């Protein structure tokens, strides 16, 4: 197989669903911008050199339907020969897209590809616009369709993750993100155009552009402050809006090229994908996915935990993230996990998250002068995914 190298990995800020700075910015606009910018930031690369674009999207319908992978590539100004596809593995869709883009290069099917992710949870809400569970199957297997929040409550109850510990974890995530933002450590973020519509005197609306530079859901927090919030998914429960990930809008892109193309065009390799895996688990406790995916991907790569310098474990909920960290014996390695905060502070734009965390992982590896990083997440429906990246 050919060597496949990552030569660029960037993301937009993440902005809160319905209330954030991207609430009037369509997903195609976010994605086409980050695709175009990824190419522009890569010295020696032109749009004409690209062959394919794989885009993760958890709910590819409405404004992010009609194969947004192809639509956004054309909106980015890429030539006709650059093909595009939309990939859906729910919460790991963006990571799946990067894995597929890398595999295409490794197999020799393409020389330069992009793996990306996008989700506008403002335009297409959680569950999609018209969810229609199978009537007979849902009657016997309702866990396939239950709220992700209920699965988080199940993890907290079954594995004794206390409300106090969830709130401590959530506050730590927020405060790490505050420090990173205020010290310019989110180097993977690209200031991104956003749009709003202002009514004019003649009754028409004018589209106004402005720039978003930071994730807009970051809030300095204390466990005591978070403890005042009520549970939102179950009466008497422990999962709140504050110890859950934020529903978010955003996009991210990673460019992958063969060694031959890197040499030909003078592209500078940053990293490479060493291994990627997925695994299933019980649907009604889907948050435990990383607890099984991380050991599997390490075994697959012939590696051990102590070789990993950075862990980006998606914080879908504090309960599941804490459970996975504890079960994996990683509590002693908290200084390596989500070092600038996680989805509780920065958001979880579903299909974008895997691509977003890849950009963050590589930026953080560079910051700490590390070699290996893991990106992992739980997945709706009862799965986990994990990938190992190596800096080169």
68, 351 contact by CB (below 8 A): no
Residue 7: φ, ψ to 5°: -115, -5
Q: Which residue has the tokens 């889907």?
A: 286
Please, what's the largest Cα pairwise distance for the chain? 67
Question: How many other CB atoms are found less than 10 A from the CB of residue 324?
Answer: 26
The two counts, helices (H) then strands (E), for the chain are 12, 12
Q: Which residue has the tokens 């040499």?
A: 263
What does DSSP assign to residue 239? -
* Cα atoms found within 13 Å of the Cα of residue 328, Cβ hemisphere only: 27
What does DSSP assign to residue 91? G
Q: How do beta strands 372-379 and 112-120 pair?
A: unpaired
Instruction: Assign 209 to helix, strand or coil.
Output: strand
* Helix intervals (H) in the chain: 27-40, 68-75, 93-106, 135-140, 148-158, 163-182, 223-226, 259-265, 289-301, 318-327, 343-346, 353-368
254, 8 contact by CB (below 8 A): yes
Catalytic residue IDs: 91, 348, 378
Q: Which of 389, 324, 325, 317 is CA-nearest to residue 348?
A: 317
Contact partners, residue 225, CB within 8 Å, separation at least 6 = 171
């Amino acid at each position: 197989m050919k060597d496949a190298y990552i030569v660029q990995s960037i993301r937009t800020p993440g902005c809160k669903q319905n209330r954030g700075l991207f609430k009037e910015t369509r997903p195609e606009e976010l994605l086409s911008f980050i695709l175009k910018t990824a190419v522009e930031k890569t010295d020696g690369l032109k749009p004409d050199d690209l062959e394919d674009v794989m885009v993760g999207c958890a709910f590819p319908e409405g404004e992010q339907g009609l194969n947004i992978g192809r639509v956004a590539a054309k909106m980015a100004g890429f030539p006709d020969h650059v093909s595009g596809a939309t990939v859906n593995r729910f919460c790991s869709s963006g990571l799946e897209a990067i894995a597929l883009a890398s595999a295409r290069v490794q197999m020799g099917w393409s020389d330069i590809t992009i793996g990306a992710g996008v989700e506008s949870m403002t335009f297409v809400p959680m569950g999609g616009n018209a969810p229609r569970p199978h009537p007979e199957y849902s009657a016997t297997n309702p866990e396939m369709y239950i709220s992700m929040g209920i699965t988080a409550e199940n993890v907290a109850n079954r594995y004794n993750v206390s409300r106090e510990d969830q709130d401590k974890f959530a506050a730590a995530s927020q405060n790490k993100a505050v420090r990173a933002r205020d010290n310019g450590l989110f180097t993977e973020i690209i200031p991104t155009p956003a749009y709003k519509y202002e009514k004019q005197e003649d009754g028409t609306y004018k589209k106004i552009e402005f720039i978003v530079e930071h994730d807009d859901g970051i809030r300095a927090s204390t466990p005591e402050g978070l403890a005042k919030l009520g549970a939102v998914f179950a009466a008497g429960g422990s999962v709140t809006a504050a110890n859950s990930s934020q529903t978010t809008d955003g996009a991210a892109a990673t460019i992958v090229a063969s060694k031959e193309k890197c040499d030909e065009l003078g592209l500078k390799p940053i990293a490479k994908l060493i291994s990627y895996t997925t695994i299933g688990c019980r649907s009604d406790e889907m948050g435990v996915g990383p607890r099984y995916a991380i050991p599997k991907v390490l075994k697959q790569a012939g590696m051990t935990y102590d070789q990993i310098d950075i862990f980006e474990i998606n914080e879908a909920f504090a309960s599941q993230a804490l459970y996975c960290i504890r079960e994996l014996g990683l509590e002693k390695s908290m200084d390596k996990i989500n070092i600038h905060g996680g989805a509780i502070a920065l958001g979880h734009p579903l299909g974008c998250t895997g691509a977003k965390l890849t950009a963050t992982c590589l930026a953080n590896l560079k910051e700490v002068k590390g070699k290996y990083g893991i990106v992992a997440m739980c997945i709706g429906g009862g799965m986990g995914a994990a990938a190992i990246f190596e800096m080169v």
